[in-house]
Amino acid sequence: MTAAERMVKYWARVEEFQASNEDLLIATYPKAGTTWTQEVVDGILNEGDAEKCQRAPTQVRMPFLEMTAPDGSSSGITKLEVMDPPRVIKTHLPVQLVPRSFWDAGCKVIYMARNPKDTVVSYYHFDRMHLNQPEPGPWPQYLEKFMKGQLGWGSWYDHVKGYWKERHNKNILYIFYEDMKEDPVHEVTRIAQFLRRQLPKSTIEDIVQMTTFSAMRENPMANYSSIPDTIFDRTASEFMRKGEVGDWKNHFSAEEDVAFEEHYRKIMSDCPVPIRFTI
Ligand code: PPS
Protein backbone atom coordinates (compact mmCIF):
# COMPACT_ATOMS: atom_id res chain seq x y z
CA MET A 1 0.00 0.00 0.00
CA THR A 2 1.32 3.48 -0.83
CA ALA A 3 1.25 6.33 1.68
CA ALA A 4 -1.74 7.77 -0.18
CA GLU A 5 -3.67 4.49 0.01
CA ARG A 6 -2.98 4.23 3.73
CA MET A 7 -4.17 7.79 4.16
CA VAL A 8 -7.49 6.92 2.57
CA LYS A 9 -7.79 3.74 4.63
CA TYR A 10 -7.23 5.55 7.94
CA TRP A 11 -8.83 8.86 6.97
CA ALA A 12 -11.66 8.77 9.53
CA ARG A 13 -9.31 8.96 12.51
CA VAL A 14 -7.49 11.95 10.97
CA GLU A 15 -10.73 13.77 10.25
CA GLU A 16 -11.93 13.16 13.80
CA PHE A 17 -8.66 14.28 15.45
CA GLN A 18 -9.28 16.67 18.33
CA ALA A 19 -6.77 19.52 18.29
CA SER A 20 -6.21 21.68 21.34
CA ASN A 21 -6.02 25.45 21.17
CA GLU A 22 -2.36 25.23 22.23
CA ASP A 23 -1.37 22.96 19.34
CA LEU A 24 0.62 24.36 16.44
CA LEU A 25 0.24 23.04 12.91
CA ILE A 26 3.10 23.25 10.40
CA ALA A 27 1.52 22.88 6.98
CA THR A 28 3.29 22.57 3.64
CA TYR A 29 3.07 20.98 0.24
CA PRO A 30 5.64 18.11 0.23
CA LYS A 31 9.27 19.19 -0.14
CA ALA A 32 8.59 22.86 0.63
CA GLY A 33 10.88 23.02 3.66
CA THR A 34 8.71 21.30 6.26
CA THR A 35 11.58 19.77 8.22
CA TRP A 36 13.45 23.07 8.23
CA THR A 37 10.39 24.91 9.60
CA GLN A 38 9.88 22.18 12.20
CA GLU A 39 13.47 22.54 13.40
CA VAL A 40 13.19 26.33 13.57
CA VAL A 41 9.96 26.09 15.56
CA ASP A 42 11.43 23.55 17.97
CA GLY A 43 14.47 25.80 18.37
CA ILE A 44 12.23 28.74 19.23
CA LEU A 45 10.07 26.76 21.67
CA ASN A 46 13.22 25.48 23.39
CA GLU A 47 14.87 28.91 23.37
CA GLY A 48 17.81 27.77 21.27
CA ASP A 49 18.74 24.82 23.51
CA ALA A 50 20.34 22.43 21.01
CA GLU A 51 20.41 19.53 23.45
CA LYS A 52 16.66 19.74 24.05
CA CYS A 53 16.03 19.93 20.32
CA GLN A 54 18.01 16.72 19.91
CA ARG A 55 15.82 14.78 22.36
CA ALA A 56 14.31 12.65 19.56
CA PRO A 57 14.04 12.46 15.75
CA THR A 58 11.84 14.99 13.95
CA GLN A 59 8.96 12.56 13.35
CA VAL A 60 8.81 11.69 17.08
CA ARG A 61 9.03 15.28 18.35
CA MET A 62 6.51 16.59 15.83
CA PRO A 63 4.22 13.83 14.48
CA PHE A 64 3.00 13.74 10.90
CA LEU A 65 -0.78 14.04 11.26
CA GLU A 66 -2.06 12.00 8.30
CA MET A 67 0.81 9.49 8.00
CA THR A 68 0.56 5.81 8.94
CA ALA A 69 3.60 3.49 9.01
CA PRO A 70 3.71 0.99 6.11
CA ASP A 71 2.97 -1.90 8.48
CA GLY A 72 0.14 0.06 10.14
CA SER A 73 1.84 -0.25 13.55
CA SER A 74 2.00 3.48 14.31
CA SER A 75 0.67 6.70 12.89
CA GLY A 76 0.67 10.42 13.45
CA ILE A 77 -2.59 10.07 15.29
CA THR A 78 -1.43 7.27 17.61
CA LYS A 79 1.66 9.33 18.49
CA LEU A 80 -0.38 12.49 19.08
CA GLU A 81 -2.88 10.67 21.27
CA VAL A 82 -0.20 9.98 23.87
CA MET A 83 1.24 13.51 23.81
CA ASP A 84 -0.08 16.37 25.90
CA PRO A 85 -0.69 19.77 24.26
CA PRO A 86 1.01 21.96 23.30
CA ARG A 87 1.92 19.70 20.37
CA VAL A 88 3.68 20.68 17.16
CA ILE A 89 2.12 18.79 14.28
CA LYS A 90 3.24 18.35 10.68
CA THR A 91 0.78 18.09 7.81
CA HIS A 92 0.80 18.20 4.03
CA LEU A 93 -3.00 18.35 3.85
CA PRO A 94 -4.48 21.10 1.69
CA VAL A 95 -6.36 23.72 3.69
CA GLN A 96 -9.80 22.29 2.95
CA LEU A 97 -8.83 18.88 4.38
CA VAL A 98 -7.30 20.09 7.65
CA PRO A 99 -9.42 18.51 10.43
CA ARG A 100 -12.08 20.93 11.55
CA SER A 101 -11.01 20.88 15.19
CA PHE A 102 -7.87 22.90 14.32
CA TRP A 103 -10.00 25.79 13.08
CA ASP A 104 -12.64 25.44 15.81
CA ALA A 105 -9.89 25.57 18.45
CA GLY A 106 -8.26 28.59 16.76
CA CYS A 107 -4.88 26.85 16.45
CA LYS A 108 -1.92 28.69 15.04
CA VAL A 109 -0.75 27.44 11.66
CA ILE A 110 2.60 28.11 9.98
CA TYR A 111 2.45 27.54 6.23
CA MET A 112 5.68 27.41 4.27
CA ALA A 113 5.60 27.67 0.46
CA ARG A 114 8.51 26.95 -1.88
CA ASN A 115 8.68 27.79 -5.56
CA PRO A 116 7.18 24.95 -7.60
CA LYS A 117 10.22 24.34 -9.79
CA ASP A 118 12.51 23.55 -6.85
CA THR A 119 9.64 21.73 -5.14
CA VAL A 120 9.07 19.34 -8.04
CA VAL A 121 12.81 18.67 -8.40
CA SER A 122 13.06 17.88 -4.70
CA TYR A 123 9.92 15.71 -4.88
CA TYR A 124 11.33 13.81 -7.86
CA HIS A 125 14.53 12.91 -6.01
CA PHE A 126 12.55 12.06 -2.89
CA ASP A 127 10.35 9.66 -4.85
CA ARG A 128 13.48 8.09 -6.32
CA MET A 129 14.83 7.33 -2.86
CA HIS A 130 11.58 6.61 -0.97
CA LEU A 131 10.76 2.96 -1.52
CA ASN A 132 7.17 3.35 -0.27
CA GLN A 133 6.39 6.16 -2.68
CA PRO A 134 5.23 5.40 -6.24
CA GLU A 135 8.14 5.07 -8.71
CA PRO A 136 8.72 8.53 -10.20
CA GLY A 137 9.51 7.28 -13.72
CA PRO A 138 11.28 9.58 -16.19
CA TRP A 139 11.64 13.27 -15.29
CA PRO A 140 9.63 14.75 -18.23
CA GLN A 141 6.56 12.67 -17.35
CA TYR A 142 7.04 13.38 -13.65
CA LEU A 143 7.02 17.11 -14.35
CA GLU A 144 3.80 16.73 -16.33
CA LYS A 145 2.17 14.85 -13.47
CA PHE A 146 3.16 17.66 -11.08
CA MET A 147 1.65 20.26 -13.40
CA LYS A 148 -1.56 18.24 -13.60
CA GLY A 149 -1.73 17.87 -9.81
CA GLN A 150 -1.33 14.11 -9.97
CA LEU A 151 1.36 13.63 -7.32
CA GLY A 152 0.72 12.77 -3.68
CA TRP A 153 -1.21 15.52 -1.82
CA GLY A 154 -2.55 16.82 -5.12
CA SER A 155 -2.04 20.11 -6.88
CA TRP A 156 0.79 22.36 -5.66
CA TYR A 157 -1.12 25.29 -7.21
CA ASP A 158 -4.34 24.65 -5.26
CA HIS A 159 -2.32 23.99 -2.10
CA VAL A 160 -0.43 27.30 -2.02
CA LYS A 161 -3.48 29.26 -3.19
CA GLY A 162 -5.76 27.59 -0.66
CA TYR A 163 -3.72 28.64 2.38
CA TRP A 164 -2.97 32.05 0.84
CA LYS A 165 -6.68 32.85 0.51
CA GLU A 166 -7.37 31.79 4.10
CA ARG A 167 -4.36 33.45 5.74
CA HIS A 168 -6.28 36.47 7.04
CA ASN A 169 -9.44 34.53 7.97
CA LYS A 170 -7.54 32.01 10.05
CA ASN A 171 -4.54 32.15 12.35
CA ILE A 172 -2.01 31.43 9.58
CA LEU A 173 1.55 32.73 9.28
CA TYR A 174 2.47 32.33 5.59
CA ILE A 175 6.20 32.13 4.94
CA PHE A 176 8.44 31.34 1.99
CA TYR A 177 11.45 29.02 1.67
CA GLU A 178 13.22 31.62 -0.46
CA ASP A 179 12.80 34.34 2.20
CA MET A 180 14.12 32.01 4.87
CA LYS A 181 17.13 31.22 2.73
CA GLU A 182 17.76 34.89 1.94
CA ASP A 183 17.29 36.34 5.42
CA PRO A 184 16.93 33.63 8.07
CA VAL A 185 17.33 36.03 11.02
CA HIS A 186 14.36 38.05 9.78
CA GLU A 187 12.16 34.99 9.17
CA VAL A 188 13.05 33.22 12.42
CA THR A 189 12.23 36.47 14.25
CA ARG A 190 8.85 36.63 12.50
CA ILE A 191 8.09 33.04 13.49
CA ALA A 192 9.11 33.73 17.10
CA GLN A 193 6.83 36.78 17.18
CA PHE A 194 3.94 34.72 15.79
CA LEU A 195 4.56 32.19 18.59
CA ARG A 196 4.68 35.05 21.11
CA ARG A 197 8.23 34.20 22.16
CA GLN A 198 10.48 37.11 23.04
CA LEU A 199 14.00 35.90 22.34
CA PRO A 200 17.26 37.86 22.49
CA LYS A 201 18.99 38.43 19.16
CA SER A 202 21.79 36.07 20.19
CA THR A 203 19.27 33.23 20.66
CA ILE A 204 17.73 33.94 17.27
CA GLU A 205 21.21 33.75 15.79
CA ASP A 206 21.87 30.44 17.59
CA ILE A 207 18.65 29.03 16.13
CA VAL A 208 19.66 30.19 12.66
CA GLN A 209 23.02 28.42 13.07
CA MET A 210 21.34 25.23 14.36
CA THR A 211 19.02 25.15 11.36
CA THR A 212 21.33 25.82 8.43
CA PHE A 213 21.23 23.12 5.77
CA SER A 214 24.70 21.89 6.70
CA ALA A 215 23.96 21.81 10.45
CA MET A 216 20.72 19.91 9.92
CA ARG A 217 22.34 17.50 7.48
CA GLU A 218 24.82 16.53 10.20
CA ASN A 219 22.20 16.35 12.95
CA PRO A 220 20.92 12.75 13.34
CA MET A 221 17.76 14.06 15.03
CA ALA A 222 16.92 16.34 12.09
CA ASN A 223 18.19 14.52 8.99
CA TYR A 224 15.91 11.46 8.96
CA SER A 225 18.88 9.09 9.34
CA SER A 226 16.59 7.15 11.72
CA ILE A 227 14.54 5.97 8.73
CA PRO A 228 15.86 2.54 7.71
CA ASP A 229 17.49 1.87 4.33
CA THR A 230 14.57 -0.44 3.51
CA ILE A 231 12.43 2.73 3.24
CA PHE A 232 14.98 5.39 2.20
CA ASP A 233 17.32 4.12 -0.52
CA ARG A 234 20.22 6.47 0.15
CA THR A 235 22.10 5.15 -2.87
CA ALA A 236 19.44 6.88 -5.03
CA SER A 237 19.30 10.26 -3.25
CA GLU A 238 19.40 11.85 0.18
CA PHE A 239 16.68 13.47 2.27
CA MET A 240 18.98 16.44 2.94
CA ARG A 241 19.86 16.68 -0.72
CA LYS A 242 20.92 20.22 -1.69
CA GLY A 243 18.79 22.74 0.19
CA GLU A 244 19.16 25.45 -2.44
CA VAL A 245 17.06 27.94 -4.34
CA GLY A 246 17.41 27.53 -8.11
CA ASP A 247 18.52 23.91 -8.40
CA TRP A 248 15.63 23.60 -10.89
CA LYS A 249 17.95 25.19 -13.47
CA ASN A 250 19.93 21.94 -13.44
CA HIS A 251 16.83 19.89 -14.24
CA PHE A 252 14.44 21.88 -16.47
CA SER A 253 15.21 21.93 -20.19
CA ALA A 254 14.64 25.27 -21.95
CA GLU A 255 11.43 23.87 -23.53
CA GLU A 256 10.16 22.55 -20.21
CA ASP A 257 10.77 25.93 -18.62
CA VAL A 258 8.80 27.80 -21.30
CA ALA A 259 5.86 25.39 -21.03
CA PHE A 260 5.97 25.51 -17.23
CA GLU A 261 6.04 29.31 -17.12
CA GLU A 262 3.06 29.61 -19.45
CA HIS A 263 1.04 27.07 -17.48
CA TYR A 264 2.09 28.71 -14.18
CA ARG A 265 1.04 32.20 -15.28
CA LYS A 266 -2.36 30.93 -16.39
CA ILE A 267 -3.13 28.84 -13.35
CA MET A 268 -1.86 31.37 -10.78
CA SER A 269 -3.44 34.45 -12.40
CA ASP A 270 -6.47 34.41 -10.07
CA CYS A 271 -4.29 34.42 -6.94
CA PRO A 272 -0.86 35.99 -7.29
CA VAL A 273 1.07 34.40 -4.43
CA PRO A 274 4.48 36.18 -4.41
CA ILE A 275 6.58 33.15 -5.29
CA ARG A 276 10.24 33.74 -6.23
CA PHE A 277 12.18 31.30 -8.37
CA THR A 278 15.58 32.79 -7.60
CA ILE A 279 17.05 34.94 -4.84
S1 PPS B 1 9.01 16.47 3.38
O2 PPS B 1 9.40 15.07 3.06
O3 PPS B 1 7.91 16.91 2.55
O4 PPS B 1 8.76 16.68 4.80
O5 PPS B 1 10.30 17.31 2.94
P6 PPS B 1 10.59 18.83 3.34
O7 PPS B 1 11.26 18.87 4.63
O8 PPS B 1 9.37 19.66 3.16
O9 PPS B 1 11.58 19.27 2.19
C10 PPS B 1 12.85 18.71 2.01
C11 PPS B 1 13.64 19.74 1.26
O12 PPS B 1 14.02 20.79 2.15
C13 PPS B 1 15.44 20.88 2.17
N14 PPS B 1 15.91 21.31 3.49
C15 PPS B 1 16.52 22.49 3.71
N16 PPS B 1 16.81 23.51 2.87
C17 PPS B 1 17.48 24.57 3.40
N18 PPS B 1 17.85 24.64 4.70
C19 PPS B 1 17.58 23.65 5.57
N20 PPS B 1 17.95 23.75 6.82
C21 PPS B 1 16.88 22.50 5.07
N22 PPS B 1 16.45 21.35 5.62
C23 PPS B 1 15.87 20.64 4.65
C24 PPS B 1 15.89 19.47 1.81
O25 PPS B 1 17.25 19.45 1.45
C26 PPS B 1 14.93 19.18 0.67
O27 PPS B 1 15.20 19.98 -0.48
P28 PPS B 1 16.16 19.54 -1.69
O29 PPS B 1 15.99 20.59 -2.74
O30 PPS B 1 15.69 18.19 -2.17
O31 PPS B 1 17.55 19.51 -1.14
* 159 assigned to active site: no
pLDDT tens digits, 41-61: 999 999 999 999 999 999 999
For residue 260, the CA-to-ligand 1 centroid distance in Å is 22
Contact 126/133 with Cβ under 8 angstroms? Answer: yes
Q: Which atom of ligand 1 is nearest to the CA of 92?
A: 3
CATH no. for 3-268: 3.40.50.300
Q: Round to whole Å and give the CA distance between 42 and 60.
A: 12
Residues with CB under 6 A from ligand 1: 28, 30-36, 118, 122, 125-126, 211-213, 216, 240-243, 247
Spans in the chain with pLDDT lower than 70: none
Residue nearest to atom 15 of ligand 1 (CA): 243
Q: Round to whole Å and give the CA distance between 53 and 223.
A: 13
Task: Identify the pLDDT of residue 136.
Answer: 96
Instruction: Give me the catalytic one of 92, 125, 130, 159.
Output: 92
Q: Which atom of ligand 1 is nearest to the CA of 240?
A: 25
Beta strand spans in 20-145 (E): 24-28, 88-91, 108-113
Residue nearest to atom 1 of ligand 1 (CA): 31
CA 116 from centroid of its chain's CA atoms:
13
Task: Identify the pLDDT of residue 71.
Answer: 84
Q: Round to whole Å and give the CA distance between 155 and 137.
A: 19
pLDDT tens digits, 208-227: 999 999 999 999 999 999 99
Among 36, 92, 112, 226, which residue has the most ligand 1 atoms within 8 Å of its CB, making it the best to mutate?
36
Q: Which atom of ligand 1 is nearest to the CA of 222?
A: 22
For residue 8, give every residue at least 6 positions away whose Cβ sits within 8 Å of its Cβ, in sequence order, or none. none
Task: Identify the pLDDT of residue 3.
Answer: 84
DSSP string, 201-244: HHHHHHHHHHTSHHHHHH-TTTS-TTS-TTTB-TTT--SS----
Q: Could you tell me the pTM of the whole model?
A: 0.97
